[in-house]
Structure formats: structure tokens, C-alpha cells
Amino acid sequence: MQLGALQLVPLFSYVLLRGRCRHCHAPIERFHFEVELAAAIIGGAAMWLQPTTAGLLLAIMGWLLLPLFLLDVRHLWLPDSLTASLALCGLAFAGVANELSTFDRALGGIVGAGSLGLIAYLYREIRGREGMGSGDPKLFGAIGCWIGWQLLPIALLVGSAGLLAIVLVKGSAHNRGAQHPLGAGLAVGGLLTFGWQLIA
């Protein structure tokens, strides 16, 4: 059954239809409404913080990080295509907002990916098993393409705190064998660091 235009309006359609399909009346998963709400909050907060082109770029970064955050939390998956899109947008446009040169942002990408990649390699060599997903260094590199190399430690610190919060919320802090979504924490750290960079 083809959906009409009014059934595809974010947030509004869900409320209008009371969370059910118009044709078969099956319940629509609340997760979709929550994602749309999160995207609206990101955009609104970014434009409130910086009602300029910089705010729009902050919103774009947030919208690119949102699916990466959700996919990592739900499936421990960071698709390369989304990460590459984040990196390319950062290299192409972030300098308009934070006035960093393309060189600084490209170096941020290299240092970000290289630093976590080195940690993952050393852990694997010393412990004989994987300690970090292959997508995490790539995501940190993509974040570096937005914020440059100098603020990467701050993004990592905030991201680690974000990961701890996610683990506590999920209730898996005491599960020694559990895998945790580092990428989701990095997404939070990267977005907050870029926002701080714009107002500092």
C-alpha cells in the first residue's frame, strides 16, 4: 500500500495516526518516532546554539552521527559508507564553521584513525584477541576531519564518559564478556566537542 504525503511527515504523521498504520492499523514501532524526535532536537539545539551557517553544519554533523550512534548501540555496527560521508563532509565544509584549515582537519583524520588503530593493534598483539572494532578508529578519524587534531583528546575523553553512561544505562557494566559500543560514545564526544569549538 502506497503512503500519502501526510503519512510521511516526521513526528506529525506518527501523532496524527496515533502510532498506527492508517490502512492495517498495525502499531508503528515507537523507535521511529524517537529517532525523528532526536533528529529534531539535534537540529533545534544546533540552530539555537549558533543561528548561523555554523549551526547548520553542527546540525549536519549531528544528523550524520545519529545513525552511527544508533547502529552501534543496537548492532555494534559502524557502516563504512556512513563514516566516509561524515569524513568527507567534515573535510569539505567544517572549516567554514571552525576556521580550521583543510590541512589541520585532514591531519585530524589521520591522527584520529591512526591513534585508535595503533591502540587496537597493540591490544591484539599483546592480548591475542580483538579489543576494538575496526569501525571505531575510522569513526574517530572522521570526527577528526571536523574538529582537527588538537581537540581529539577532549573528544576521546568526552566519548569515554559517554560510553560509560551508555553501558550503565544498558546495565552491562558488570558483564565481563559484553561488547560495548565505543563508536556511540565517540559520536557523542565528537558532536559535543565540535559544538564547544564553535562557541569557545
At 27, is the secondary structure helix, strand, or coil?
A: strand
Distance CA 183, CA 137 (A): 9
Does residue 15 share a domain with residue 83? no
User: Per-residue pLDDT for the chain (200 aa), expressed as one digit of tens each?
Assistant: 565 555 555 666 666 666 665 656 666 677 777 888 999 999 999 999 999 999 999 999 999 999 999 999 999 999 999 999 999 999 999 999 999 999 999 999 999 999 999 999 999 999 888 889 999 999 999 999 999 999 999 999 999 998 988 888 876 555 666 788 999 999 999 999 999 999 98
Domain extent for 153 = 50-199
All cell numbers assigned to 197: 569549538
Would you give the distance in Å from CA 71 to the centre of its chain?
9
Whether residue 42 is contained in a domain is answered as: no
Q: How many domains, the chain? A: 2
Whether residue 98 is contained in a domain is answered as: yes
CB 78 within 8 A of CB 135: yes
Among residues 42, 40, 36, 68, the alpha carbon closest in space to that of 55 is found at 42
**How many helices (H) does the chain have, and how many strands (E)?**
8, 0
CB 98 within 8 A of CB 194: yes
Does residue 169 share a domain with residue 116? yes
All cell numbers assigned to 136: 571505531
Greatest distance between any 2 Cα atoms in the chain: 58
pLDDT at 76: 93
Does residue 97 share a domain with residue 7? no
Whether residue 169 is contained in a domain is answered as: yes
Whether residue 154 is contained in a domain is answered as: yes
Whether residue 121 is contained in a domain is answered as: yes
pLDDT at 31: 76
Does residue 181 share a domain with residue 100? yes
Does residue 158 share a domain with residue 79? yes
Whether residue 21 is contained in a domain is answered as: yes
Give pTM, 2 decimals.
0.88
Whether residue 75 is contained in a domain is answered as: yes
Whether residue 4 is contained in a domain is answered as: yes
Distance CA 13, CA 132 (A): 40
Does residue 189 share a domain with residue 141? yes
Determine the length of the chain: 200
Does residue 11 share a domain with residue 85? no
Distance CA 189, CA 158 (A): 5
Does residue 92 share a domain with residue 26? no
At 19, is the secondary structure helix, strand, or coil?
A: coil
Distance CA 88, CA 80 (A): 12
pLDDT at 137: 97
